[in-house]
A and B are shown apart, each in its own frame.
Chain A
Amino acid sequence: MRVTATINGELMHADDVWEGESLLYILRERLGLPGSKNACEQGECGSCTVYLDGVAVCACLVAAGQAQGREVVTVEGLASGGELHPVQEAFMRAGAVQCGFCTPGLIVATHDLLRRVPHPTDLEIREALAGNLCRCTGYEKIIAAVRLAASGRTGNAE
């Protein structure tokens, strides 16, 4: 089947989609958007977090057909022009990236948190990132990156 959705502001079509495929699969394998990572395929790790109609979801648990006619924003859609989004900048500055595999999902989850709660407490940060697993950094740098992004002192304008 064909799936048509607005992805990062652009109307895109994926063809020859198998009906049981996930949104993550079509993003990565059919639409050339490998930023969302494929790790657990069961919603446990958050590495594939994207926005579906403005709601943060695991792309691996969305059936491709459920994205039909919807609006998807992936980690590739957060930067504008050549400028990184302040959340991305904060992750770099805080050293919150090691192997980088969990980073795209954490960036989207953090972006979603700060949009809802611009100045989160540490407890709110931990709760918001509870669905994103990192096996390298031990989370301290990640939480520091969220605090930095929330402080607005990353050097980039929002």
Chain B
Amino acid sequence: MDFIQPTSWADALAVKAERPAAVPVAGGTDLMVELNFDARRPDALLDLTKIGELAQWDISDGRVRLGAGVSYTRIITELGGTLPGLAMAARTVGSPQIRNRGTVGGNLGTASPAGDAHPPLLAARSDIEVASVRGTRLIGVEEFFTGVKRNAMEPDELIAAVHIPLPSGPEQFSKIGTRNAMVIAVAAFSLALHPEQRAVGTGIGSAAPTPRPAPAAEQFLAAALTDAGLWESRAELPPAIAAQFGEMVRAAAAPIDDVRGSAAYRLHALAVMARRTLAWAWQQYRGSAAHGDGG
């Protein structure tokens, strides 16, 4: 096995082009487990932790460009107020030690259906910036996940960053596990209200072969809020709308029975989480009008 440690992004892309089988490693929280347990013997490790720009984020044109190597801890401390949905999910990742190392880039590279960052990235309608020596392209997060632990990247590509639109409304996240820390989600759900677009974003985790949104539920809720004038009035949300939204989120999932939970439990949990996150987000939306910050 070779250990390749480029110090610039251009060098990293050149290595990946020349050796597409080289496995990128940043926080190591997934890959090192596989190495420690002899489950994987890659031909080469491509260490990305010496590339400073991957660990940076900035805001421009209404979007956060989050470098693939920014740790969950830094997302919580530096972007907790800017990207509340992603920060909520980040707080549920592993433990302090894991959050100090783990990155959203790694989560996307692994592309597990249970990856904690995926539901909020879906709900926020993010784009994944991938790069190779051939150039850079943006992949909508909905198109990024192509199967269980599979993504839309070419063998010579690396994840550079995630582009996350600045929220125009409240975001919420909910995750079910056997304890608060150190759990892989049994099921997870993210909700984003987009009042400027009069739209709703959703993300389902651990309840389908890939993380996925619930588009029919999004359209139903956005239309129901519009038809009842609720975006403007910010009146109380009729319970029937919330219940219907929960049922439609449930209908968008396709879970399996596994060691962490049964498919039936996951479906039930998703309907509950969808309803609850909507209640929390709607409460925030109503409260934000009282404070006059518009959203």
A interface residue numbers (CB < 8 A to B): 1, 18-20, 22, 41-44, 46, 49, 55-58, 60-63, 65-66, 68, 109, 112, 127-128, 130-132
A-B contact count (CB 8 A): 89
Point out the residue from B33, B41, B45, B94 that lies within 8 Å of A65, measured CB to CB: B45
Point out the residue from B32, B37, B98 that lies within 8 Å of A63, measured CB to CB: B32
Known pairs A43-B98, A58-B97, A65-B47; A1 contacts B3 (CB<8 A): yes
Given A19-B3, A55-B101, A131-B98, 18 more pairs with CB closer than 8 A: A20-B41, A41-B33, A43-B94, A43-B95, A44-B182, A46-B95, A46-B97, A56-B97, A57-B100, A58-B98, A62-B32, A62-B101, A63-B47, A66-B25, A112-B96, A127-B96, A127-B181, A131-B95
Do B182 and A68 touch (CB < 8 A)? no
B2 close to A (CB within 8 Å): yes
Contacts of B41 in A (CB 8 A): 20
Contacts of B1 in A (CB 8 A): 18-20
B29 close to A (CB within 8 Å): yes
Do B36 and A68 touch (CB < 8 A)? no
Contacts of B169 in A (CB 8 A): none
Give per-residue flags for B53-69: 1 if the beta carbon is below 8 A from chain A beta carbons, else 0.
Answer: 00000000000000000
B8 close to A (CB within 8 Å): no
Known pairs A49-B97, A128-B96, A131-B95; A61 contacts B33 (CB<8 A): yes
27 pairs, A vs B, C-beta closer than 8 Å? A18-B1, A19-B2, A19-B45, A20-B41, A20-B45, A41-B33, A41-B37, A42-B36, A43-B29, A46-B95, A49-B97, A55-B101, A56-B100, A57-B97, A58-B101, A60-B32, A61-B33, A61-B101, A62-B32, A62-B101, A63-B32, A109-B97, A112-B96, A127-B96, A130-B96, A131-B95, A131-B96
Do A61 and B181 touch (CB < 8 A)? no
Contacts of A109 in B (CB 8 A): 96-97
Do A63 and B97 touch (CB < 8 A)? no
Contacts of A55 in B (CB 8 A): 73, 100-101
Do B36 and A22 touch (CB < 8 A)? yes
Q: Please give the distance in Å from B230's CB to the nearest CB on chain A.
A: 36
B5 close to A (CB within 8 Å): yes
Do B29 and A61 touch (CB < 8 A)? yes
B49 close to A (CB within 8 Å): yes
Residue of A nearest to B32 (CB): A61
Contacts of B98 in A (CB 8 A): 43, 58, 61, 131
Report the separation of the CA atoms of residues A132 and B95 in the bound assembly, to the nearest whole angstrom.
8
Q: Please give the distance in Å from A38's CB to the nearest CB on chain B.
A: 10
Known pairs A1-B3, A42-B37, A65-B47; A22 contacts B32 (CB<8 A): yes
